Amino acid sequence: MSVLRCFTVVVLSTTFVFAVQAADPGKDKSADACDDPMLGTAGRSECYDGQYKKEDAELNLVYRQVMSHLDSKSQRDALKTAQRAWISYRDKECAFDAARYEGGTEMNVVLPACLYRETGLRTDALRDYLKMLGDG
C-alpha cells in the first residue's frame, strides 16, 4: 500500500472519529483509541470489533426495553420486522463500505468500524423511540 494511500486512510479514519464525537459528545470515547496507528491493522481491527460487540450488547438491551413497552403484538411484530430489515441493511452497507479495500488488510478495520458506527446509530434511534414511549 502506498504511503499516500496509508496517509489518506488514517486521515479519513480520524475524520470519522471526530465526526462521531461531534454528533454525540456523550458517546464512549474508547473507540478513539482504535484509530491509533501504533496498534497496526490487526490491533485496530480487534479494537473496533470489541467496540462493536459492546455497542451490539447495548443495542440488544435498548431493543428489549422498547419491546417491553409496546402494547400490542402487532407493534412488537412491526418492530421485529423493522429490526431484521435494519440488520440486513447494516450488514450489506458495511460489506459495501469495506469492499473498497478488497484484497487489502484495511478491509479488516473498515468492516468492524462500520458495524460499530451503524449499530450505535440504531441504538440511538431506539433510545429516542423509548423516550417517546415515556421511559427514556
**Residue 77 vs residues 10, 67, 73, 106: alpha-carbon distances, Å:** 42, 9, 6, 38
Residues of the domain holding 26: 3-132
Please give the grid coordinates belonging to residue 26.
456523550
Please give the grid coordinates belonging to residue 73.
403484538
Angle, vertex CA 54, rays to CA 48 and CA 57, nearest 5: 140
Q: How many domains is the chain partitioned into structurally?
A: 1
User: pLDDT tens track of the chain, all 136 residues?
Assistant: 554 554 444 444 444 444 444 444 444 557 788 999 899 999 999 999 999 999 999 999 999 999 999 999 999 999 999 999 999 999 999 999 999 999 999 999 999 999 999 999 999 999 999 999 886 5
pLDDT value for 134? 82
Q: What is the DSSP string of 78-115?
A: HHHHHHHHHHHHHHHHHHHHHHTTTTSTTHHHHHHHHH
Q: pTM for this one?
A: 0.75
